[in-house]
């Protein structure tokens, strides 16, 4: 035997696996000419080399009892195609030699990934069904720079890491391999040895497109390119759907608890069942957008999806990636844009995930003062690493381009911006300038937004940012973070605090409803009544309202009316549209039986009508983010707890008048200043009997008076219903002036 291995390498091949297998396995030139082939087949009794036609060329020599076989062809100088016939003693089968295939990733792929500029890295990293050197199979690529050895394992190699050792690509830290004759549906993981040769827990693919249903944790090979979309018409209108001067009424949904199948053990609805039930429901209520709480694969139901393991995989709880695409497709065909919650700020410590991926703090920071959220029990991404930055940036674009998602709502932005977030003194490290801002995270967020909006396809981003950080939704070129919108958490907390007070005490909290207008135009705000307000012992929205049963529902309807007329886009968490009575629980269904009650049904009708009025009234959405679009009529009537204001359209030639009375007292002969002397008609009244209201007073039509009031050139005198919001629209022309 001329082409011998060292005993050390032989031992590694049959025990732990050798870290550079392509240098010793497969077909190689001999030391003194000719060709030799070497393979490791631990379970084989005999191995034969076959030619292209399946003819036996020779039986391989077993050179190590651990299963190393070798064949030499001293007369041949040319490399040739071949296969193995493997004899296990009780059966035989043919197999390709995985070590005869050339690399799939090009040098540029690797260079740009390590540089951090490979913004569609998902096209090569992870598992991809391809034809390589004339053979169909799956290419695998993973980043693990500090591992001694990385293998892809699955049923195709009996989960034996010695038989699937990957090719290291120089100093890049990327490992890759092409496994022939496998395809969609194959279950796999990565088996790694750290740099000391210790075996690590099996890892799911960071770029995996599909995963087993929990509690199983393996990745699954999936072809995400095969789905045929039917949403071309919607995609053409996406820019208009997400534009700042268009209506945005969003229904926030947790897919696992919107509705359950009670007949079949309270199971989840599938993506396709949701397409049949959720899509028409959202359309019927008149929403323009739907927002899913995180859909990326996650192990623990109780995290609601906010502790993600598979950033590139829609959760298998509800079906396949194509099933999820079908759901999005159906929403688009119904004219509804889809936003998903995106969680780039942290990840869980589960052993099959990113934590300690190659035996080192690869995706996270080593120092817990930067690398852990102790309150959440999670790790923090190291945004300063090019490859980590690239992994997350690629993921943002992945959901938009591959799944036709229309926008990303970025979770917990404040936790990313501040190094001392939820930390005491001594528990955090200052940045290189001596401050508490996370410079690397700021760069990352700006880069994501620049790339998302740079796609120029109408995508948007929304920040859940709970601090006073300036210019969150302003362009990066003027120093902003570059988001399209920002959740207005201050408005949410202040107004809910006000609404929780008994009406007799509201006059002492009047500023809680007006304060938001001081900063309302500093950002492109969304007004969120989100899941966060109906969990963790906070109760439901209807439960926060004071008074008897009638007053609770009247308060909630009036509050919704105030929200829809206030500057800012709208978001309401599921269940709020029919006044769910109990706090949201992720393990069950919404309380749909409540719609048998007229009060609950009336709230649902309120939301439906508000959405229609909102979408059909440009003054309520065209100029949300400049002071021109809003004008107080009377912000100081705390004694009566009445708020009145005007909303203007962008051209400033049309408007509506909004009045909210947050006491159970009819405000009779209430004088209100208005911009024009014309007739005004009621287009919405939350006290209407069809909503469960008292129907005590309808303004109907009222004529403007010559006398000015509230610094307006005209006025109207009206009776304002109790605990109600009323919207009035001017009627111009011969009969209205």
Q: Is residue 179 a contact partner of residue 137, using CB atoms and an 8 Å limit?
A: yes
Rounded-to-integer distance, Cα 484 and Cα 275, Å: 27
User: Where is 347: in which H helix or E strand?
Assistant: strand 347-348
Both tokens assigned to 650: 């962008």
In this prediction, residue 698 has a pLDDT band, given cuts at 50, 70 and 90, of confident
Active site residue 411: yes
pLDDT score, position 736: 46
Return the CATH number of the domain spanning residue range 7-100: 2.60.40.10
Task: Evaluate if pTM is beyond 0.85.
Answer: yes
The reply to whether domains 7-100 and 107-220 share a CATH topology is yes
pLDDT tens-digit series, residues 172-194: 999 999 999 999 999 999 999 99
**pLDDT given at position 697:** 82
Q: Which two tokens stand for residue 184?
A: 């969609």
pLDDT tens digits for range 390-436: 999 999 999 999 999 999 999 999 999 999 999 999 999 999 999 99
Residue 2 pLDDT grade (very low, low, confident, very high; cuts 50, 70, 90) = low
Neighbour-count burial for 45-75, b at 16+ CB within 10 Å, e otherwise? eebbbbeeeeeeeeebebbbeebbbbbbbee
Percent of the chain's residues with pLDDT above 90: 92
The pLDDT tens digits of the residues spanning 339-397 come to 999 999 999 999 999 999 999 999 999 999 999 998 899 999 999 999 999 999 999 99
Determine the average pLDDT of the residues in 444-471: 96
Provide mean pLDDT across the span 439-456: 96
pLDDT of residue 17: 86
The candidate with the shortest Cα–Cα distance to 380, out of 425, 349, 423, is: 349
| Chain centre distance of CA 276 | 22
What's the whole-number mean pLDDT along residues 639-650?
97
Q: Work out the pLDDT band at 1, boundaries 50, 70, 90.
A: low
Mean pLDDT for all residues in the chain: 95
- CA 135 vs. chain centroid, Å, equals 36
Q: Per-residue pLDDT for 734 more than 80?
A: no
What is the assigned CATH class of domain 107-220?
Answer: mainly beta
What pLDDT was estimated at residue 4?
84
Give the pLDDT mean for 13-34: 90
Lowest mean pLDDT segment, chosen from 64-68, 77-81, 211-215, 580-584: 77-81
Note the helical H segments in 77-231: 107-115
Q: Which residue, 304, 660, 244, is CA-closest to 460?
A: 244
**pLDDT score at 75:** 87
Distance of CA 428 to the CA centre of its chain: 28
Domain ranges of the chain: 7-100, 107-220, 626-731
**Which member of 411, 440, 679, 687 is catalytic?**
411
Q: Which of 464, 533, 623, 688 is catalytic?
A: 464
Q: Is the pLDDT of residue 735 over 60?
A: no
623 in active site: no
Instruction: List the single range of 79-83, 196-200, 696-700 with lowest mean pLDDT.
Output: 696-700
On whether the 626-731 domain is CATH 3.40.1710.10, my answer is no
């Amino acid at each position: 035997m001329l082409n011998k291995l060292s005993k050390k390498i032989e031992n590694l091949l049959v025990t732990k696996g050798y870290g550079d297998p392509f240098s010793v396995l497969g077909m190689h030139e001999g030391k003194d000419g000719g060709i030799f082939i070497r393979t490791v087949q631990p379970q084989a009794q005999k191995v034969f080399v076959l030619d292209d036609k399946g003819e036996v060329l020779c039986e391989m020599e077993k050179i190590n009892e651990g299963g190393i076989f070798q064949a030499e062809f001293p007369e041949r100088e040319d490399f040739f195609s071949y296969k193995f016939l493997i004899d296990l003693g009780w059966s035989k089968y043919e197999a390709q030699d995985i070590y005869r295939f050339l690399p799939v990733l090009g040098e540029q792929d690797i260079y740009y990934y390590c540089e951090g500029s490979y913004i569609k890295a998902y096209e090569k990293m992870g598992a991809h069904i391809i034809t390589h050197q004339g053979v169909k199979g799956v290419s695998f690529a993973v980043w693990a720079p500090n591992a001694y050895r990385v293998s892809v394992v699955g049923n195709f190699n009996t989960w034996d890491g010695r038989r699937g050792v990957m090719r290291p690509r120089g100093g890049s830290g990327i490992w890759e391999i092409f496994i022939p004759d496998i395809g969609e549906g194959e279950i796999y993981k990565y088996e790694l040895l750290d740099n000391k040769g210790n075996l690590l827990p099996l890892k799911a693919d960071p770029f995996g497109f599909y995963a087993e249903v929990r509690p199983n944790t393996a990745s699954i090979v999936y072809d995400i390119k095969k789905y045929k979309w039917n949403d071309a018409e919607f995609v053409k209108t996406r820019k208009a759907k997400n534009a700042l001067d268009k209506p945005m009424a969003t229904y926030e949904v947790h897919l696992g608890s919107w509705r359950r199948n009670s007949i079949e053990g309270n199971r989840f609805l599938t993506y396709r069942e949701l397409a049949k039930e959720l899509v028409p429901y959202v359309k019927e209520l008149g929403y323009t957008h739907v927002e899913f709480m995180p859909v990326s694969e996650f192990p623990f139901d109780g995290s609601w999806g906010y502790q993600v393991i598979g950033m590139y995989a829609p959760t298998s709880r509800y079906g396949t990636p194509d099933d999820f695409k079908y759901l999005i497709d159906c929403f688009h065909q119904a004219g509804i844009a889809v936003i998903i919650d995106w969680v780039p700020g942290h990840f869980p410590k589960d052993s099959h995930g990113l934590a300690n991926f190659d035996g080192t703090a690869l995706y996270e920071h080593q120092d817990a003062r930067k690398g852990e959220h102790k309150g959440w029990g999670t790790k923090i991404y190291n945004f300063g690493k090019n490859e980590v930055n690239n992994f997350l940036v690629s993921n943002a674009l992945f959901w938009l381009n591959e799944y036709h998602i229309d926008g990303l709502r970025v979770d917990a932005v404040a936790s990313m911006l501040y190094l001392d977030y939820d930390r005491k003194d001594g528990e955090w490290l200052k940045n290189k300038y001596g401050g508490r801002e996370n410079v690397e995270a700021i760069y990352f967020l700006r880069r994501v937004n620049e790339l998302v909006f740079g796609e120029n396809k109408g995508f948007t981003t929304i920040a859940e940012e709970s601090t006073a950080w300036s210019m969150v939704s302003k362009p990066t070129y003027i120093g902003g973070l570059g988001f399209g919108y920002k959740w207005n958490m201050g408005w949410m907390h202040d107004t809910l605090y006000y609404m929780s007070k008994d009406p007799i005490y509201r006059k002492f909290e009047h500023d809680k409803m007006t304060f938001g207008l001081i900063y309302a135009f500093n950002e492109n705000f969304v007004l969120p009544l989100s899941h966060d307000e109906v969990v963790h012992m906070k109760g439901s929205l209807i439960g926060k309202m004071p008074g008897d049963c009638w007053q609770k529902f009247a308060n909630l309807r009036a509050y919704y009316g105030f929200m829809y007329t206030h500057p800012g886009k709208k978001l309401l968490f599921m269940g709020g549209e029919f006044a769910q009575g109990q706090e949201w629980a992720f393990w069950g269904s919404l309380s749909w039986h409540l719609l048998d009650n007229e009060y609950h049904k009336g709230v649902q009708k309120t939301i439906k009508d508000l959405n229609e009025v909102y979408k059909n009234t440009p003054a309520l959405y065209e100029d949300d983010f400049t002071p021109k679009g809003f004008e107080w009529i009377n912000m100081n009537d705390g004694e009566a707890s009445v708020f009145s204001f005007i909303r203007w359209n962008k051209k400033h030639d049309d408007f509506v008048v909004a009045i909210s009375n947050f006491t159970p007292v009819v405000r009779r002969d209430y004088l209100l200043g208005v911009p024009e002397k014309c007739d005004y008609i009621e287009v919405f009244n939350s006290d209407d009997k069809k909503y469960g209201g008292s129907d005590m007073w309808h303004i109907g039509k009222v004529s403007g008076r010559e006398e000015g009031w509230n610094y307006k050139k005209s006025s109207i005198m009206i009776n304002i219903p109790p605990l109600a919001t009323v919207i009035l629209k001017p009627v111009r022309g011969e009969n209205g002036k």
